[in-house]
Chains A and B, each alone.
Chain A
Amino acid sequence: MEAIEILFTASLWAAAIRIASPLIFATLGELICERAGVLNLGIEGIMTVGAFAGWVAVYHGADLWSGIAIAALAGAAFGLLHGFMTIPLGLSQHVTGIGVTLLATSLTYYAYRLVFPEVTSPPKIEPFAPFEIPLLSQIPFFGEALFRQTPLTYLAFISVLLVAYVLYRTPIGLAVRTVGENPATVEAQGIDVTLVRMGAVAVGSAFMAIGGAFLTMSAFNSFYFDMVNGRGWICIALVVFGSWRPGKALLGAILFAAFDAYQLRLQQLAGAYVPYQVFLMLPYVLSILALIVMSRRAGYPRALMLAYRKGER
C-alpha cells in the first residue's frame, strides 16, 4: 500500500522534475543533432565536459550563469569536432562519436587532476538555489512539485518551448529538419547543408553540456569521476522514445525521471528483500525496453547517419 501512496506525494514529483532536468537539456541537444541528420554519441563525454567546465569556472570565481555559458561553449567546441569529422569529412558517426566521448572524458579527467592534484574529496561550490515562483509555488501539490525548483530547471522547460518553436516555426528550423530528411532539396535552395548541420551539432552539443553542468551546479555542488554515469546513453534512448519531437521527449524524460525517483523510494521500502543493484539497473533496462517498443513506430529522420557529399547520389 505504501508503495502506491508514494506516487501521490508532491516530493516524489518534485524529485522527478529535478532528476529530469539534466536529461531534458541533453535529450534536446541530441534531438537537435539527430534532426539535422547527425547521431552524436559524443553526448556522454560532452556532458562530462560541461559538468566540469561550468563547475571549475564557478570555483575560480565566475558567477553561476557565466559558468553555464562556459560549459555551453566547451560543449559546442567538442560538438564542432564531432561535426567536422562527420559532416565535411563524412566519417562514421558511430566511431567518431565514441572517440569524442573518450577524448572529452579523458581530457576532463586530465584537467581535473591538473587543477586539483592532491585532493581526495573534491571542493564544493555554492550551487543554484531553489527559486520559489511567487503565487504559483503556493498551489497545493503542483506548487511544491513544479515551482520550487532551481532556475536551471525552469530554463530546461523554457528550452523545450524554444527548441520546438525554432524547429517548427522558423526558417532555420525548417532548414535543420530538411537537412535531416533530404539534404539535396536544401542544397537546391541554395542553403549550405554543411553549415546547417555544423550549426545544429554545435548548438545541440551546447545543450548537452548544460545538461552536464546541471549535475555539478544544481543537483550537486561538486565534480566526481563517472558522475554522468550513462545519462548520455539514456538520453539517446529518450530521443527515440520521443519520436524526435521536443514535447514527447520532455514527456519521456519526466516519465523516466519519475520512475527513477520512485525506484529510489522503493529501495528504502523494499531494500531488505531485493538487492539494491536491481533498482539501480532499472533505468537502463527501461531505456532498452523503450527502444524496443518505440523502434517499430519510430519516424526517424530519413538522412540520419547518412553523410552528404555535394553532387554525390
Chain B
Amino acid sequence: MRLEPRTETGIGLRLAAPIAAVAASFLVAALLVLIGGASPFAVFAAVIKGALGSQFAFLETLTRATPLIFTGLAAAIAFRARLWNIGGEAQLYAGAILTVMLGTGALALPAPVLFPLILAASALAGALLLLGPTILKTRFGVDEVVTTLLLNFIMVLVVSMLLDGPLKDPMGLGWPQSKKVIAEAIWPKLVQGKRLHLGFLIAILAALAVWFVNARTTFGYEMRAVGFNPRAARFAGIPVNWVMAKTALLSGGLAALAGVSEVAGLKGNLTLDLSPGFGYTGIVVAMLAALHPVGVIAAAIFVAAMFVGADAMSRTVGVPNYIANVMVATALLTMVAAMLFTRFRLRRG
C-alpha cells in the first residue's frame, strides 16, 4: 500500500473529513461509555439535550464557544504560516491581566473610550507574548512549540502572583481573585437575563476579518506561502521572518481577546480558573475547521456543545465529564488523519 497525491480535492471529500472525525469521536466515546457500564444512547441523548435541548442550554453552548472561537482563530492563523503557537493559554491570561489592570477603576473613562482601549491594550499584550518565541524561532532556531508551552506554565504563575499581590481584591476574603471590572468596562449581554454576551458577536466579526485577511489581502497570501514552503517564499522575495512576526502579533492578539471576553463579558474578574484549557482546546478547534476561519465558528460551537453537554450529562447520568475531553482529542487526531486522505489516495503496490 502506498499514498499517491490527488490532483484535485472535491468539496464533498473536504466536508467528509470533519464528518469522519466527529463520527470517530462518537464511536470511541460509545466504547468508553460501555466500559463505564452505561448506555451510549442514553449518554449521547443526555449530552445533546444538555447542549442544545433548551434555549438556556443553547445559549450556554454559544457562551462557551466564544473564547474557543478566539483561541481557535489564533491557532488557525498561526498554523497556516506553520508557526506552532501552543501558547494560547498564556496569551489568554495576558489579555485577562490587562483587562483587570485597566478595567477595575484605574481608568475612570466613559465606556466608548474604555472599551476600545482595553481591547487594544490586551491584544497588544498577547501579541507581544507570542512575538518573543517567534523571534527566538526565526533568529536562533528555538522550537516555538516548547517555548510557548513553557510560557503557559509561567503565565499561570504570574497570574497567581498578581492575585496574591497588586491585583488582589481587598474585599475577596483572602481568595486569589481580582476586583470586579467597573460598569463602564463590562460588555453588554446579548439576551436579557442570560449569560451570552457581546464577546460572541466580536468573535464572529473577528472570524470574518481573519477570513478576509487570509483570502483577500497580500499579507494573507504571504502567510500561506510561508506556511506552504518557506524557502520558496523567501526565493519569491517574501520577507519570511517579517511575515512570521506579523502572524505572531495577530495570533497572540486574537488569543488575548479570549481573555478580555471572559473577564469583561462573563466572569467580571480574574481568577486562577478563568480558563479550563481554552488555549489548548483552540488548537483542536482550528484543526477541526481545517484552519479555515469561518469553519472555526462551527468547530468552536461543536466543541463547546460537547463540553456543555457532557457537564449536564455527568450530573444526571453519572458518566465522568472527561468523556468530552476524550471526544475532542479523538476528533483532533481523526481529523488530522482524514485530512491526509483529502490530499492523497491509497494505492496498492
Contact = CB atoms under 8 A, between A and B. Distances in A.
Contacts of A298: 141
**Binding site secondary structure of chain B:** helix
A288 B140 CA distance: 12
Interface residues of B, number: 45
A233 B108 CA distance: 42
A187 B127 CA distance: 45
B114 to A, nearest CB: 29
B109 interface: no
Given A41-B145, A91-B337, A281-B157, A110 B332 contact: no
Interface in A100-128: 100, 102-103, 105-107, 109-110, 113-114, 117
A89 B332 contact: no
Contacts of A106: 322, 325-326, 328-329
A95 B336 contact: yes
A277 B147 contact: no
Given A92-B336, A102-B284, A110-B320, A277 B158 contact: yes
Contact of B340 (A91, A107, A275, A292): A91
Contacts of B329: 99, 102-103, 105-106
A76 B87 CA distance: 27
Central interface residue in A91, A99, A105, by most chain B CB within 10 Å: A99
B84 interface: yes
Given A92-B336, A96-B336, A284-B150, A110 B145 contact: no
Interface string B86-123: 10000000000000000000000000000000000000
Contacts of A230: 149-150, 153
Interface stretch (B159-167, B179-187, B207-215): B159-167
A191 interface: no
A6 interface: no
B201 interface: no
A291 B144 CA distance: 10
Interface string B115-157: 0000000000000000000001000111101110111011001
B200 interface: no
A117 B314 CA distance: 11
Contacts of B325: 102, 105-106, 109-110
A114 B320 contact: yes
Contacts of A94: 84, 145
Contact of A114 (B36, B161, B337): B36
Interface residues of A, number: 46
Interface string A248-267: 00000000000000000000
A75 B314 CA distance: 28
Contact of A280 (B36, B157, B320): B157
A291 B320 contact: no
A26 B295 CA distance: 37
Interface string B74-93: 00000100001010000000
A295 B157 contact: no
Contacts of B147: 288, 291
5 contacts: A96-B336, A102-B325, A233-B150, A284-B151, A284-B153
Interface of B: 2-3, 32, 35-36, 79, 84, 86, 136, 140-143, 145-147, 149-151, 153-154, 157-158, 160-161, 164-165, 280, 283-284, 287, 318, 320, 322-323, 325-326, 328-330, 332-333, 336-337, 340
Given A99-B287, A110-B325, A295-B140, 6 more contacts: A85-B337, A98-B332, A99-B333, A106-B325, A230-B153, A281-B157
Closest 9 CB pairs of A and B: A106-B325, A113-B320, A103-B329, A102-B329, A277-B161, A110-B322, A277-B157, A99-B333, A109-B322
